[in-house]
Structure 1
Amino acid sequence: MKNKLTLFFLALSLLASATVSAQIRELERSTPEAEGVPSGAVIALMDSLMGLPKTDIHSVMVLRHGKVIAEAYPAPFAPEYRHTVFSCSKTFVGAAVGLAISENRLRLTDRVASFFPDQLPDSISANLADMTVRNLLNMTSGVTPDWNMRNVRTDWIKGYLGKQVKVPGEHFDYDSMSSYILSAIVQKVTGMKVLDYLRMKLFEPMHITDISWEASPEGINTGGWGVYIQSESLAKFGQLLLNRGVWKGKQLLPAWWVDQMMAKQSDTGSFGYGYGYQMWLCEYPGAIRMDGALGQYVLIIPDKDMVVVITECTLIDGATQRRLVWNRLLPAVTGDQPLIAGKDYKRLQKKQSSYQLPLVQGKASSSLVGEYADKSIMLEPNKFGWQSLELHFKQKEVIMTVTETNGTKYDLLFGYKQWKKASIEGYPPYSIEAKGRFNGIEGPFYVAGSYAWPSPSTLELKAHYVNWITALNLTLRFDGENVQLTVKENYSSEAKVVKGKVLFIFAPN
């Protein structure tokens, strides 16, 4: 085991080094004060984000004038790790549509039904016939969202087009499947997946190389979700939009299209401040954002010439995080003149490198360790596909061997008062249950763990899937032959708590 772990960490180090040299730290770095931002305001933002309840911050990047002036990756996260960004993916679809329009492959007024003649229902309603590309872009398709459809069928285009359609253009209904249909249309008119099209048009010129995108059972990038990308690449894309499509002096994305993406195209009523083309308008005047589930944001703030990227795992309202940017950071940015760096800048440097997510609290060991070490614990059926667990106790370290129902087997490492990392052969738990999920996403996935014994009969473990998004809080309660496992996923509500009776296959000593 020791030799295997040593080889793993050596391989991981080499992989991280290669990734760092190839992808991250490519944006120019500067100091807050050099770009007219007081470090104290950045500290106020970072500390406030780190203090939010039911929230794990994974990364924060602050850019001004195209330069990174602050960034934090609280341990166990790191800049080289990619992250799934959920509905931030929609904005990439919006960019692809604009590029196709600029090449005369597509028009806003094109009828959606015309692209899929072989997948239409037997009877085409007038409303379906009237639905346009623009209706998909601004979420006014007339189709009532059906978030379960992708979970139960594989023919998503046919399923979507078979829905009842209200009058297009009249009502805003946020729907990831509208973005999926846009992805399918771009693939139809370009002959390539959206990811490949954007690689050619945007990502290669911007050197965004470490990116993947989930694909549907129909072989189409999922559109409304599924982009898997590093934070710095998100920052690059946000900067491209802030620059109205210009990257290093070249117009990669038409300025007129960026303007349309970032302008109000739909009235969302009480649900936000308006919607553009696959982007949200913000409460701060003139700001617009890419926005993904569980707290993935790229905030574009033209009047301050700033971009702020936040990736996290949270269950609180995202307006809270955005208010911290508006209220803690932006009021202090009053001009472009350089400021004098002082003690706050030194504090910021120290804080950025020392932020850490909470470790599990309790004792390092228990009198029960000898009784339960190296024994197989057979689990009842559960959503994670875990068939059995084995616990191996080392000095200030727990190794939990997971065997999945499909036979996959791997170790999760948990450190005492520190994070321990390992790779897994399988896939992380995922809040999206779409057919074909993870198709197009490469492993391995890395998991960082912390453990402690809050009482002699209770072992608590925290696992962060650091190059994904998921966090698991696991509690094992030992009582003779019986062990109860409780799992909470991503600060889940009570409805998402997984409780199972764990059955031993041994007689305790």
Structure 2
Amino acid sequence: MFRVYSDRANWGKCLKLVVVAICVSSIASFSVVSMAEDQAPGTSLPKSTPESQGVSSKGLLEFIETADREVDSMHSFMLVRNGYVVAEAWWEPESPQKPHILWSLSKSFTSTAIGLAVEEGKLSINDPVLDYFPESSPEDVSSNLKAMRIRDLLTMTTGHQDEVNLRNESDWIKAFLAHPVPHKPGTHFRYNTPATFMLSAILQKVTGETVVEYLGPRLFEPLGIQFPQWDANPQGISIGGYGLYLRTEDIAKFGQLYLQRGKWNGEQLIPEEWIAEATSKQVSNGSNPSSDWDQGYGFQFWRCRHDAFRGDGKDGQFCIVIPEYNAAVAITANTRNMQSELNIVWDKLLPALSNSPLAADEAALKNLNEAISNLKASR
């Protein structure tokens, strides 16, 4: 499958990425190790043994075995506790250096770009969407369309009853603005990937850069995320709502950054106020207490049970941040039951976390490594 690199051709870097991916694609790997002394700041997350960070190797083994048995199929997993990677696993043929499709987990990165643009004074989330695209406005503009704000794009409350299908459209912006808006914006939650595309289009309009280009020096480079890939639409606009490809550790870094309220290596990359707003419940999206899709929605982030929040994508891509446990979890997969995948995190992984360091358990750690060494994705 062809993928656009950084929305622009950069064949030298693309070739390097392809070579690296080919070289490592057949290697299944797992590591739970002590903190490496040669870690380069901003490049790789530091590592530690599970027990030293209050994580049970036995509990991790139970989580891994349950996920391997019940999720069809797991691709990768990484747990960051107290800022240290304490467990990481890849189901062959996935590997540490292989980028993975994020699907709608991409939305949380687009939201981050909007937050940075707000901080730089390039836009306000209370701006009307139409103000940015007067040339694409339909002839008959409804009052609801006039009332639609950037905030409504962020919270999936644009007023649409149904998503507009952009895939067969030549002009995505015009098609979005021409779509009926039967509900008053801000009052009706409707998951809406085209709304995230519009956030990407607005950002590109005010900065002259695609989302991936804009995030380069502001997010990807400080976090040591190399070669981010983000597919673009026919007009060269990053799709925004999906299309981003990153490594598992890159997802974990993003989660850890949000856990640290936007601070990285002593630098405030994302305003703390934006982190608080984006990850809090901005709108209600249901009332089922056992569903992680009914706990509220922020700015392209879902609220979860256990007072957690996440970005997620189709087929089981997760970046889960659990402030109460000072933990961030990255998972990639190919499953049709994402709630079941999350249930395993809550039922098996959380009980493995303690509030204080645990005694070393070499036998359990050995069993964990042995169990993981033969992991293979079922498809």
Q: After TM superposition, which residue ranges in structure 1, 4 or more long, deviate above 3 angstroms?
A: 11-17, 20-25
What is residue 237 of structure 1 aligned with on the other side?
254
Cα offset for 1:355? 1.3
**1:133 matched to 2:153:** no
Cα offset for 1:191? 1.3
**1:100 matched to 2:144:** no
Cα deviation per residue 1:99-138 (whole Å; 9 max; x = unaligned)?
0000111111100000000000012111111110100000
Cα offset for 1:67? 1.0
CA distance in 2, matches of 1:116, 1:23: 42
CA distance in 1, matches of 2:21, 2:172: 40
Q: 1:160 aligns with which of 154, 163, 176?
A: 176
Q: CA 1:24–1:104 in structure 2 vs 1: closer, same or farther (change >3 Å)? A: closer
CA distance in 2, matches of 1:70, 1:107: 40
Cα offset for 1:341? 2.2
Counterpart AA for 1:307: A
Cα offset for 1:151? 2.1
Q: Percent identity?
A: 38
CA distance in 2, matches of 1:64, 1:339: 16
What is residue 455 of structure 1 aligned with on the other side?
none
- Kept in 1, the 8 Å contact 2:43–2:225? The answer is no
Matches within 5 A, 1:315-326: 315-316=336-337, 318-326=338-346
Counterpart AA for 2:302: W
The structure with the largest alpha-carbon Rg is 1
Cα offset for 1:229? 0.9
Q: 1:273 aligns with which of 295, 300, 305?
A: 295
Structure 1 length-normalised TM:
0.65
Q: CA 1:272–1:24 in structure 2 vs 1: closer, same or farther (change >3 Å)? A: same
CA distance in 2, matches of 1:106, 1:91: 18
Q: 2:334 aligns with which of 313, 317, 330?
A: 313
Cα offset for 1:80? 1.1
CA distance in 1, matches of 2:128, 2:259: 30
Counterpart AA for 2:296: G
- Kept in 2, the 8 Å contact 1:37–1:339? The answer is no
Q: 2:371 aligns with which of 332, 336, 351?
A: 351
More strand, by proportion: 1
Cα deviation per residue 1:322-344 (whole Å; 9 max; x = unaligned)?
11111112123221334322311
What is residue 259 of structure 1 aligned with on the other side?
276
What is residue 195 of structure 1 aligned with on the other side?
212
Question: Runs of 5+ in structure 2 lacking a partner?
Answer: 1-17, 30-38, 288-292
Q: CA 1:65–1:109 in structure 2 vs 1: closer, same or farther (change >3 Å)? A: same
What is residue 235 of structure 2 aligned with on the other side?
218
Cα offset for 1:73? 0.5
What is residue 349 of structure 2 aligned with on the other side?
329
Matches within 5 A, 1:42-441: 42-52=60-70, 55-146=72-163, 149-165=165-181, 166-270=183-287, 271-284=293-306, 286-316=307-337, 318-358=338-378
CA distance in 2, matches of 1:24, 1:207: 5
Counterpart AA for 1:47: E
Q: Secondary structure of 2:222's match? A: helix
CA distance in 1, matches of 2:283, 2:21: 48
Higher relative contact order (CA 8 A, sep 6+): 2
Counterpart AA for 2:54: G
CA distance in 1, matches of 2:151, 2:45: 34
Q: Secondary structure of 1:299's match? A: strand
- Kept in 2, the 8 Å contact 1:24–1:232? The answer is no
Q: Secondary structure of 1:321's match? A: helix
Q: Secondary structure of 2:116's match? A: helix
More helix, by proportion: 2
- Kept in 1, the 8 Å contact 2:42–2:222? The answer is no
Q: Please, what is the CA RMSD of the aligned residues? A: 2.1
CA distance in 2, matches of 1:335, 1:42: 16
- Kept in 1, the 8 Å contact 2:42–2:224? The answer is no
Cα offset for 1:206? 1.2
Cα offset for 1:22? 10
Cα deviation per residue 1:300-331 (whole Å; 9 max; x = unaligned)?
00010111111011122x11111111111212
What is residue 13 of structure 2 aligned with on the other side?
none
What is residue 30 of structure 1 aligned with on the other side?
48
- Kept in 1, the 8 Å contact 2:42–2:265? The answer is no
Cα offset for 1:24? 11
